[in-house]
Structure 1
Amino acid sequence: MRVDKYLWCVRYYKTRNIATEACKKGHITVNGQAAKPSREVFPTDKITLRRDQINYILTVLDIPDNRVGAKLVDIYRKDETPAEAFEHLELLRLSKEHYRAKGTGRPTKKDRRDIDDYTDEPSIDFEDDNI
């Protein structure tokens, strides 16, 4: 089965066209080599794909006949993605939401002053040093 069709069948991509584009952009590797969309996939192959800033690592267990339901996906692949990848994504999400919520508009004067106070280094006074 083609790698783009396989990734579509096991629900990593919503459409085959999106899976094909990911292959063309070099986001997908099979056994450590960049994969064209037409690359054949066999059981025991390791597929690495980058999606949503996460490098997913999959092992092909079996080849589905056609697109499978979400509950049956684990029959056809084994997800070996490390947990640190998902934690890193959560940290990125939290850091984006830390300062300003999306859609709140431009920073106010008070926001600018707070940013300036945060980025300014404290001044060091050397005049009191009489050693």
Structure 2
Amino acid sequence: MTTGTDTVRVDSWTWAVRLFKTRSAAAAACRSGHVRVNGSTAKPAQPVRAGDEVRVRGAGHERIVEVTKTISKRVGPAIAAECLVDHSPPPPPTEIQMAAPRRDRGAGRPTKRERREIDQLRGR
């Protein structure tokens, strides 16, 4: 475990503070552009240090955390909580999440018109 002004890889740090279940999942999220450090897209080997802001997008919401300690080894949840400050917005209410329409099982693939309607609902 490293602390202080040392730098640690962003994929290693996000895994160590339990933002991802595996380090390979953290590296894959970095490669696909779901992790940002101080506003710019991060590669897996980008260094983070105390005071940096890390944004992780996944599972329908975004986590915004500030690095307080740099660690490279996975630790228990109590110690991991000391290594970051969570600035994430609260999750949306359950009613909003459940309001999204679902297709019936066995209904087949959506038509082109239905895909456009789905994209319009999702705001794309």
Give the TM-score of the pair, scaled to structure 1.
Answer: 0.68
* CA apart distance, 1:24: 0.4
What runs of 5+ residues in structure 2 fail to find an aligned partner? 1-7, 108-124
The one-letter code matched in structure 1 to 2:24 is: N
- Please give the per-residue CA displacement for 1:33-53, whole angstroms capped at 9, x wherever unaligned: 110000001000000110111
Name the residue aligned to 1:37.
44
* CA apart distance, 1:93: 3.5
Name the residue aligned to 2:98.
94
Taking only the aligned residue pairs, the percentage that are identical comes to 31
* CA apart distance, 1:60: 0.0
Change (3 A) 1:92 1:61: same
Q: Provide the aligned length of Structure 1 versus Structure 2.
A: 100
Point out 4+ residue stretches in structure 1 off by more than 4 angstroms: 104-107
Name the residue aligned to 1:66.
73
Give the TM-score of the pair, scaled to structure 2.
Answer: 0.71
Partners of 2:89 and 2:34 in 1: CA distance = 18
RMSD over aligned Cα atoms = 2.2
What runs of 5+ residues in structure 1 fail to find an aligned partner? 108-131
CA radius of gyration, larger in: 1
Given the alignment of the two structures, is residue 55 of structure 1 paired with residue 62 of structure 2, yes or no? yes
Given the alignment of the two structures, is residue 78 of structure 1 paired with residue 85 of structure 2, yes or no? yes
34-43 or 63-72, which deviates more: 63-72
Preserved CA contact (<8 Å) 2:12 2:72 = no
Name the residue aligned to 1:15.
22
The structure with more strand, counted as a fraction of residues: 2
Partners of 1:91 and 1:40 in 2: CA distance = 39
Change (3 A) 1:63 1:94: same
Q: Which has the higher contact order (CA 8 A, sep 6+)?
A: 2
Secondary structure of the 1:87 match is: coil
Given the alignment of the two structures, is residue 3 of structure 1 paired with residue 6 of structure 2, yes or no? no
The structure with more helix, counted as a fraction of residues: 1
